[in-house]
Amino acid sequence: MATPSEHDHDNGNFKDMFSLREISSQFFEMVPVRKMKWKDEEATLLARSHELQRQLLLATVKHPVCSNFPPSVSYMRYFMKLLIHKLESEDADIADEMYETYTDLLSRSEDEDETLCYKSYKMPSGECISLQESVHLVSQGTTGLSTWQAAQHLAEWILENPHIFANRSVTELGSGLGLTGIVSCKYCQIQSYAFTDCHAQVLYLLSKNIEQNLVQEKHKQNSDSSDRDKKILRKIRKQLSLSSGSEDPSTAFGDGKDVVESDVNDDEIYSDPVELDVSTSCWDMDSSHRIASLKADRRVSICHLDWECVKGKVLEKLKSDIILAADVVYDTSIIPALVFVLKSLLDTGPESNRKPKAYIASTIRSEDTRDAFLIAIGSEGLNYSIVESPSQSRFHYDRSVPIEILQVSAH
């Protein structure tokens, strides 16, 4: 698959002053356009060169990724609108391709701009992990239909510490749409990886993101359920549209405020079935219909796991060397159930030599919520320490609110 870096050029000022790769990666992560980071001199360089304008188009809205894994049409329109405005403010000689591209985006019918779209995260290797996500931060009573800051932060840390995961079994709590786990499976020599979540829509999209990123083309099968998949996606989109209402396009793409405890209330919680709904052409379901393994890579599994009504047999199957979780500490009401699951997974018994560890990444939106989590950990006899943050900023997310990674163990 082509990646946003493939059209990078190394010529003169372009290499030194125009961060095409940086703009491209922000575009594919759907960073709010008004929050995109541009160097002051970049608009001037663009204004002077039709060639740079064309190269920017090739690295963003005209890149093959936009055909295979398209961002929101509204986002691309807004990107082009502000780009042209930026050039006009510089009295630029704007290339015809800029206007033609914008006009083409405007001509697309509104129903093409789905509530579900793709965000693509560029890896150190140059390839992308493309995830189908909701454009809305809170959808159907769950935050799991979008990739949050702590998941990106934890993925950055994993990329810098692959040795921790080498030949280790891993279970992830609250996997969401799968960025952290897909990074671990692709770039760490894991022994096994279990993705878990409890929301039906999240699990369905998670399974599709796993298939898209972890199954090689030669192993992908023409699913008999493709029509059914389309129906499920249409249903999810319809539900998302009904729940979201209208939004200002300048704030619709991750520009909203972070979720705090009051953003999610009991009346909004979506009632999910306990059984997994995954493609049988790609997954083998166990007898409980709660856990499925990926046919193309038996190391990978997906599990319906509700912390508040978890089965002991399921937890036993999920016991691993490493437990991961990101952005799961956001509501004090779920902390007791979360800590119970953590303790169960970390407790190996007095005769075992295994010493599993959990790594929990949290965006510290509320000191009270963080303190409640730490008190709950301590009251259950679990130990914790703060892990050093990743040294490199690979992804583009809001860093104004602190993000912390805790290592938790039972010994």
Instruction: Specify the pLDDT at position 1.
Output: 40
Model confidence band, residue 346 (pLDDT cutoffs 50, 70, 90): very high
Checking if the pLDDT of 206 tops 80, the result is: yes
Instruction: Specify the pLDDT at position 136.
Output: 63
Q: Find, among 194, 177, 198, the residue nearest to 294 by Cα.
A: 194
DSSP secondary structure letters along 256-315 = SPPP-GGGS-GGGPPP--SS----TTTEEE-TTSSEEEETT-TTEEEEE--GGG--HHHH
Q: Which residue has the tokens 């329109």?
A: 77
Model confidence band, residue 108 (pLDDT cutoffs 50, 70, 90): confident
The pTM (predicted TM-score) of the whole model is: 0.85
The Cα–Cα gap between 326 and 173 comes to 8
Q: What is the mean pLDDT of the chain?
A: 83
Q: Which residues contact 306 (CB under 8 A, 6 or more apart)?
A: 198, 272, 274
Provide, rounded to the nearest whole percent, the portion of the chain with pLDDT above 90.
57
pLDDT digit string (tens) for 53-105?
A: 999 999 999 999 998 999 989 899 999 999 998 889 888 899 999 999 999 99
Instruction: Specify the pLDDT at position 229.
Output: 75
Instruction: Specify the pLDDT at position 240.
Output: 63
Model confidence band, residue 8 (pLDDT cutoffs 50, 70, 90): very low
pLDDT digit string (tens) for 152-166?
A: 999 999 999 999 999
| pLDDT (mean) for 375-379 | 96
- Secondary structure of residue 142 in the 3-state scheme: strand
DSSP 238: H
Asked whether the beta carbons of 304 and 290 are under 8 A apart, the reply is: yes
Instruction: Specify the pLDDT at position 249.
Output: 37
